[in-house]
């Protein structure tokens, strides 16, 4: 059984992950409309990944016989002034999620909920990778803002990784 404080915050985090999913769909659509298919595909994949993170959390709560709450989410930002703004938003979003994951881990430790602490370890590792990837993409977008083909090429070469992580928790429904 997971600590009640952890369960409450994990249910909140499920909403945060679904909100991140929605925001990445909106960003992907923005790049799709700009005819930047590789950047769009990258963000569509990111959206699926965020949805899977929410579903991993759902599965953990099911596995620990805890109540799952699927919170509603606010509408994502859909209007962007340029190609940098949505990527900067993605960096900020990943940094916020990293802080949320850290808070969840802290709650598990404070409550001596070792199973939940162990569950959160994968997400900590994942967030380091996510912040690094988005930060790199932002640097490329800033450097190549006047040459979207260079951005597309970088995404194809550096950020187009579809290999799954065999250590990832199982999403509910998979």
pLDDT beyond 80 at 18 = yes
* Domain membership flag for residue 170: no
Q: 134 with 95: CB under 8 angstroms?
A: no
* Domain membership flag for residue 172: no
Domain that holds residue 65: 4-158
* Domain membership flag for residue 112: yes
Task: Provide the residue count of the chain.
Answer: 174
- Give the pLDDT score at 163: 66
- Give the pLDDT score at 21: 98
* Domain membership flag for residue 150: yes
Q: Work out how many domains the chain is built from and give that number.
A: 1
* Domain membership flag for residue 171: no
* Domain membership flag for residue 38: yes
Convert the pLDDT of each residue in 60-89 to its tens digit.
999 999 999 999 999 999 999 999 999 999
Residue 62 CB partners (closer than 8 Å, separation 6+): 68, 172
**How many other C-beta atoms can be found within 10 angstroms of the C-beta atom of residue 131?**
17
Q: What is the pTM of this model?
A: 0.93
Residue 73 CB partners (closer than 8 Å, separation 6+): 15, 18, 19, 22
- Give the pLDDT score at 158: 87
CATH number at residue 128: 1.20.1260.10
Rounded to whole angstroms, how far apart are CA atoms 130 and 43?
12
């Amino acid at each position: 059984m997971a600590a009640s404080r952890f369960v409450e915050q994990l249910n909140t985090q499920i909403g945060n992950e679904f909100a991140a999913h929605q925001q990445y769909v909106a960003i992907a659509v923005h790049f799709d409309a700009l005819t930047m298919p590789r950047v769009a595909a990258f963000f569509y994949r990111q959206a699926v990944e965020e949805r899977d993170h929410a579903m991993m959390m759902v599965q953990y709560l099911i596995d620990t016989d805890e109540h799952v709450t699927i919170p509603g989410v606010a509408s994502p930002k859909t209007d962007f002034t340029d190609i940098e703004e949505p990527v900067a938003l993605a960096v900020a979003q990943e940094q916020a999620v990293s802080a949320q994951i850290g808070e969840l881990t802290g709650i598990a430790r404070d409550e001596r909920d070792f199973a939940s602490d162990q569950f959160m370890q994968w997400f900590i590792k994942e967030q380091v990778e996510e912040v690094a990837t988005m930060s790199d993409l932002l640097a490329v977008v800033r450097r190549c803002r006047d040459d979207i083909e260079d951005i597309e090429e970088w995404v194809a070469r550096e950020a187009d990784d579809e290999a799954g992580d065999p250590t990832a928790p199982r999403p509910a429904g998979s």
